[in-house]
Amino acid sequence: MPRILVPRIEETVVLVTGASGGIGRAIASAFAGAGARVFGTSRDPASVRDAPEGVEFLEWDAHKESSADACAASALERAGRVDILVCNAGMGIGGSIEDVPVADAIRQFDANVFGVLRMLRAVLPGMRQRYSGLVLVVGSAAGRIAVPFQGHYSASKFALEGLVESLRLELRPFGVRAALIEPGDTRTGFTDSRRSLPSSPAYAEAATRAIGVMEKDERSGADPAGVGALALRLARRRRLRVRYPIGPAFQLLALGLKRILPSRAFEAFLAVYYKVPRTGVRP
């Protein structure tokens, strides 16, 4: 296994997807503040208001096949390399597994999973060639604990867990590090951007209640600056664990409880927390 090189932050080139707001913006600001050369992406760079100081914006749309290559090529042309890739961009839809049209579920996966894949395919060749690099993927606590009426979002974040576990093994011989950051509820534009799809009468009340709990938790969630500081700390470490949860204490506790409680006991706790009704309405 090659010796893992950890360049000084001031000497690194960082590419953060979805840096126009929320967690991505906080991560981009943290690296720029520490002296790195930082590129951030947005689907519409011209519309980014109050861009964090020192962050250069590039266009990238997770859904467009050629967009990742064009974005990575722009970063390479301007800075010569990408040392750290932070795959942060993502979105969420709400609705029951049964009600959400498959086309919307596919779009959810396309943004959160295949978008990451497209960016990895564009950036990894350079890292492998240099035997040096770091990939941080922003997963979610919902990628460890699936929540009701956000099943498609949860499944997309569970998929990232598998992707990164494989990626680490594949990149090991090249000295390229990879890890997941798993935020719990964080105060960002994510809540307002969530698209809740229409529910059938069987699920409507339960969906409204569960999504209401999530929205309340998100709006009173952690400051995204904490995730920025964590990403910066990880970039300075030679050896990384697979996953780094961060967020409100009760959510970190829930991750621990899931490990030790019998699965039905943990599920019963989730059902109470998300106000899942005891009996469904018969059609």
Residues that bind ligand NAP in the complex, under the rule CB under 6 A = 18-24, 42-44, 60-63, 88-91, 111, 115, 138, 140, 183, 185-186, 188-190, 193, 218, 221
Closest CA to 18 of 117, 96, 87, 114: 87
Asked if 244 is an active-site residue, the reply is no
Q: For residues 62 and 211, which CB has a smaller minimum distance to ligand NAP in the complex?
A: 62
DSSP codes of every residue in 85-136: EEE-----EEB-TTTS-HHHHHHHHIIIIIHHHHHHHHHHHHHHHHT-EEEE
Q: For residues 7 and 21, which CB has a smaller minimum distance to ligand NAP in the complex?
A: 21
Instruction: Supply the minimum distance, in Å, between the C-beta of residue 194 and ligand NAP.
Output: 9
Q: For residues 31 and 60, which CB has a smaller minimum distance to ligand NAP in the complex?
A: 60
Q: Which of 153, 203, 244, 274 is catalytic?
A: 153
Instruction: Supply the minimum distance, in Å, between the C-beta of residue 278 and ligand NAP.
Output: 28
Instruction: Supply the minimum distance, in Å, between the C-beta of residue 17 and ligand NAP.
Output: 6
Q: For residues 132 and 232, which CB has a smaller minimum distance to ligand NAP in the complex?
A: 232
CA distance 279 to 276: 9
Instruction: Supply the minimum distance, in Å, between the C-beta of residue 94 and ligand NAP.
Output: 13
Q: How far is CA 1 from CA 171, 174, 207, 248, in A?
A: 10, 7, 49, 37
Helix (H) or strand (E) segment spanning residue 40: strand 37-42
Amino acid present at 119: M
Catalytic residue ranges: 153
